[in-house]
Structure formats: C-alpha cells, structure tokens
Structure 1
Amino acid sequence: MSRRTTTLRTRASKRLATVGALAAVTTLGALISAPAAQAGARPAGAKHKPAICKRIPTIDTRLTKSIARLSGDAKVNGSIAHLQARIAQAEKSNRPAVKAYLNDVLTTRQRLLPELQQRKTDLANVKTWCDTQPSAAKK
C-alpha cells in the first residue's frame, strides 16, 4: 500500500468521525429540546381545540358518502348490490376466476360497511367531546 492511499484512508476516517460526532450532537440537542414538545405542553393561556375537531365535518362527509355508496342499489357503482350483480353475471358467463376475485372483493366490502357505520357513531361521540372543549375565541 502506498503512502498516498494510507493518507486518503486516514482522512476519510477522520471525516467520517467528524460527521458522526456532528450527527450525535445534533441528535442529542433535538432529544433535549423535544420532551417539552412531545409532552403536549401548551403555552399558558393557549386554549385551542384539538385538530381532530376541525376535521370532523370532512370526515363525516366522507363516511356518509362511503356508507351511501356501499348501501346503494345495483345501479350504484361500488355498492354491494352492484358487486353481487357482477358476480351473478360472471357465473352466468362461465368465468370462475373473475367470480372468485369478485367474491373476495364482496367479502371485503361486506366487512367494511359495519366498520364504517361504527366509525360514524364514534365520530358523533368525538363531536360531542369537541363541543365541550374551550375554543380560542372563549379566552
């Protein structure tokens, strides 16, 4: 090995050690300052509603649309009834692979509908909770 190769390796090692030390110091600084932010501490006098309270109308609209779509009749694309009609057509057309795939999709959607209805109920409970939280206007 030449002297130049050894020197380059030594320099690379020193650079790597320096970068590692800088990363460690930066991480340590972030960890020291982060506990206050992670603990959820708010400045004195700040009484803002949680972010979920602002998103409730949007979430409610999406849940309502999804439930309506899944509960729709055979003419509504994405509904359980529409999927059942497609399965019947696949069976009639002697397409077993398509029928098997659509049956799996049907099973998933049938499990999804009660879950979405439960989420809507839970969202109503969250809305009630949000209504009890102080807002920024009531300071």
Structure 2
Amino acid sequence: MMTTLQETCPLCAVCKQQPIPAFMATLTARSLLCAENAPLIFDRERLDTRNDYDVRHGVFRAPVIGTYMFFATPTAQAGDAFHTTILNNLLTEEIGLLFGNNGQTEWSNDSTTIVVQLVAGDDVWLACNMPSTITG
C-alpha cells in the first residue's frame, strides 16, 4: 500500500526518507538586549532535525508546505520587560504576541503556541516590538 501511495504521490510534502521538521533553540547569554523590530536570536540549537533553524539570524525556514506548530516562552527577571512578536516572513505579518511587563517584583514570563499553515520557504522568527531584555 505504501509503495502505491508513494508512486501516486511522488511530490508529497514530507517523504518517508526525510525526518519531520523540528527544532529547539535557547539563549547562551544570561541576558539579551533586543532593540525595537530586531530579531530575537536564540543562538544555541538543542535540536534541528533538518537544519531549518539558522542560529546566526534566529530564523526558521519551512522546508515543505504544511501545518507547523511553534511554542515560545520568553522570560525576564524582576524589573525588566519584554514585548515580542512571532512573525511570518515580514515584520507586518504577526502571528503571535508575548509580553512581560515592567514593575514586576519577581521573574515574569509568557508562553504561547502558534499553529500556522506555511509553504516551503516561509520564514518564522521572533522579534522585539519594543526595546526588551530577555533573560531566558
């Protein structure tokens, strides 16, 4: 049955020989200052099954058309704030927002999960939409 399916669908998005696209990235610095509209670069790969996440620029590039799920949890220490957005291709294409406010007396964080349809070559990344300090 699988052979027949492969023969009738030779251009399937994820073929049996390729691993499913997945990545996990973290910060190596204890604290990261991020300017307005600047990418939030998680510079340490913990997992990248197809080398689709670029640690130099903090961008994930979709290798195939499909439905993708992204999860992010920025953290700030007491007194710091972050306002970040998850972007698809352009600064104007926001697909998620994460906030940690000033004036906190303890650590703050925010988490979100985004499910989005992408085509091959789409870029997804986090950017700060105001000057921010990310601690983890």
TM-score category (smaller protein): under 0.3
Q: Which of 1 and 2 has higher RCO (CA within 8 Å, sep 6+)?
A: 2
**TM-score relative to the length of structure 1:** 0.20
More helix by share: 1
More strand by share: 2
Structure showing greater radius of gyration is: 1
